Structure 1
């Protein structure tokens, strides 16, 4: 068990923050890419089926990423809630022991 990870509320919160930061970065990159791609397609001489297909593919990738981001946000929110629940459970347990055995 030397390589076991101890899960604490702090670990859950730092993981939540890392996920949220990565999601913000991924969203910004995807939005910049899609915007740039739309600008290239709209102003260049690259019209027709190839341009339409390329733009549709970029839009689908952006849509898929947004679904992934939504799932990541739910995960991050769940980690934050788990941290609060863990802290509340510890406080309740400490209160229960104090009530049962008295303060030491």
Structure 2
């Protein structure tokens, strides 16, 4: 397979860090948007049903994003755990092979 991707513990950790960084950025953007939106709604010209609906929609979007961020954090954590398990498995296998071939002499 010429275009196969080799999954290594390092690749998993790089991916974990990229996900965590993207989640932090998304959270910052969403918080900034929500804060700005609340400030706009606070202006006297935005009172009434339209303002309330707009604010409720922004709150729902923020809530949905927080759920997505929580899922992304679980994914990133799982990738980190998978990397550690891969390394432990490789160390155990290496130790097993060393013992097998050292004992044959």
Per the TM alignment, residue 45 of structure 1 is displaced from its structure 2 partner at its CA by 1.1
Per the TM alignment, residue 103 of structure 1 is displaced from its structure 2 partner at its CA by 9.7
Q: RMSD of the TM alignment (CA)?
A: 1.5
- The 1:96/1:64 distance shift into structure 2, 3 A limit, reads same
Per the TM alignment, residue 83 of structure 1 is displaced from its structure 2 partner at its CA by 0.3
Residue 103 of structure 1 is matched in structure 2 by 104
Q: Secondary structure at the match of 1:45?
A: helix
In 2, the alpha carbon distance for the partners of 1:85 and 1:76 equals 14
TM-score, normalising length from structure 1?
0.96
TM-score, normalising length from structure 2?
0.95
Runs of 4+ in 1 over 3 A off after TM superposition: none
User: 1:26-66: CA deviations, max 9, x gaps?
Assistant: 00000000000001101241110000000000000000000
User: Structure 2 stretches of 5 or more lacking a match?
Assistant: none
User: Structure 1 stretches of 5 or more lacking a match?
Assistant: none
Alignment length (residue pairs): 104
